[in-house]
Amino acid sequence: MEARHLWAGLQLLDRQLLDRDGDMAGKVDDVELASDPDTGSLYVSAVLSGPGALAGRFGWRRLSPWLRYVHRRVTPLDTDPTRVPLRYVADIGDHVTLSLERSQVGSESTERWVRDHLIGHIPGASHAPE
Amino acid sequence: MLLSDLLRSRVRDADGRDVGKVADVRLVQDGPYVEGFGHALRVEALVVGRAGLGVRLGYHRKPVEGPLLVRRIFAALERRARYLEWRDVTDWDGETITTRRRSGDLGPPPP
């Protein structure tokens, strides 16, 4: 069987991420590549999603690591919330399906932090709209 | 290393001539097996040059339908784009990719 081919810019970047329950979990903002020192081949090692990854894509080289650092500090996860290793990517099609919950993905953790620490402190934020 | 760095890089051929900027990257799923995903995606080739815009927009793909005029314009552009296999890349410093091939020897991207 012939191996599957993909155009990275066309079929991977900016695609919608869905978590294992089918809920939206951000977009593919960049893709991490790793080189095999023996063969010189480059492989996709992770999908990046979140404000820090997007800043890097726009060439903001100083802003990107700073945003990723802040992002790590404000999320309860032990790992870099921006980075989704390839082993957690279940499928690549019209969208990219992950085998994670969206709470484990960078974009969602930023949204949750803003809700809990900023929006939640605005008077009336805890009341449902009438 | 990031895909966005690759997409920002320029390519220089064996004679030191500028071939153009990387427009898209072709991946093939034939790498080492990764639990949960399957075989890893390997960088197989680059599409180089401004004419590669058609590839980036998807007009080169056979099933893609579109207005006849637009398809013809992008098909003509794609024929001028250069397809560089990664095995012919000798160096990448994060900004410039150097290849052992001459730009005139590089063909158009596959459909």
pLDDT at residue B13, as a whole number: 94
Q: Looking at the complex, does the CB of residue B64 fall below 8 Å from at least one CB of chain A?
A: no
Q: Please give the average pLDDT of every successive group of 10 residues along chain B, which has 111 residues.
A: 91 94 94 94 92 67 69 75 93 93 88 71
Express each pLDDT in A23-38 by its tens digit: 888 899 999 999 998 8
Percentage, residues of chain A above pLDDT 70: 84
Task: Single out the residue of A85, A13, A93 nearest to residue B24, CA to CA.
Answer: A13
B14 touches chain A (CB under 8 A): no
Identify the CA nearest to B19 among candidates B98, B85, B111, B109: B98
Q: What are A110-116's contacts with CB under 8 Å, separation 24+?
A: A110/A50, A110/A51, A110/A71, A110/A74, A110/A75, A110/A81, A113/A74, A113/A75
pTM: 0.81
Choose the closest CB to A10 out of B1, B37, B56.
B56
- Chain A residues with CB under 8 Å of B26 CB are 5-8
Contact B43 A42 (CB under 8 A): yes
